[in-house]
Amino acid sequence: MNDQRIRTLHLYLACAAFCLIMPTMAHAHVEQGQAAGFLTGFEHPWSGLDHILAMIAVGLWGAQLGNPAIWVLPIAFPMMMALGGMMGLLGIPVPGVEAGIAVSAIILGLVVLLDIRPNLVIAALLVGFFAIFHGHAHGTELPPGQSGLLYSMGFVIGTGCLHGVGIMIGLIHRYQVGKFLLRGAGAFITVMGCLFLWQAVA
């Protein structure tokens, strides 16, 4: 290696060392836990099978009922779920929350299985009623140090994505075989709901 190359190498090393010892800006009280709050909230609905199956059942039922239920139910659910979460935050008790979540899976699975087509208002009220239990149980579990707003946004968006999954699966309803498969999915959700109820009560 000639002198020129050695000098160049030294220059690079000096520059690198210089960059490493540069003082960085000192931010006092910078907000922390922002991204973590959103991710925790987003992950939360996906972490419990009872919640996942009930959310997907809402999407399946919406797809089975068709327009306008396909979008009314996924709009009604997060609003009522947030109301349940607010009740939980204010310390307003809801009796039998875990059993209510399990029953929601049973009932929503049954309506998909039996292809029940009630009035839109009744369908929205039924879905909204069960949403309160889900919100009360899961909407308030904020880990310490994380942003409550971003946790809430993540939680709502995560739930909405699960509805979206249910709707996408439910689109098979347009095919004859798909109708049977959809009802089979309803049966599976009902059976799982019974299992959750057994666990909640036992």
> Is 91 one of the binding residues for other proteins (CB under 8 A)?
yes
Q: State in angstroms the smallest separation of the CB of 34 from other proteins.
A: 8
In this structure, the number of other CB atoms found within 10 A of the CB of residue 160 comes to: 17
Sequence-distant (6+) residues with CB within 8 A of 45 are: 51, 52, 55, 138, 155, 158, 159, 162
> Is 58 one of the binding residues for other proteins (CB under 8 A)?
no
> Is 39 one of the binding residues for other proteins (CB under 8 A)?
no
Q: State in angstroms the smallest separation of the CB of 164 from other proteins.
A: 9
Burial of residue 137 (number of CB atoms within 10 Å: 0-12, 13-18, 19+): buried
> Is 149 one of the binding residues for other proteins (CB under 8 A)?
yes
> Is 62 one of the binding residues for other proteins (CB under 8 A)?
no
> Is 128 one of the binding residues for other proteins (CB under 8 A)?
no
Please name the amino acid found at residue 121.
V
Q: State in angstroms the smallest separation of the CB of 167 from other proteins.
A: 10
Please name the amino acid found at residue 11.
L
Instruction: Report the residue from 36, 39, 89, 194 that binds other proteins according to the rule CB under 8 A.
Output: 89
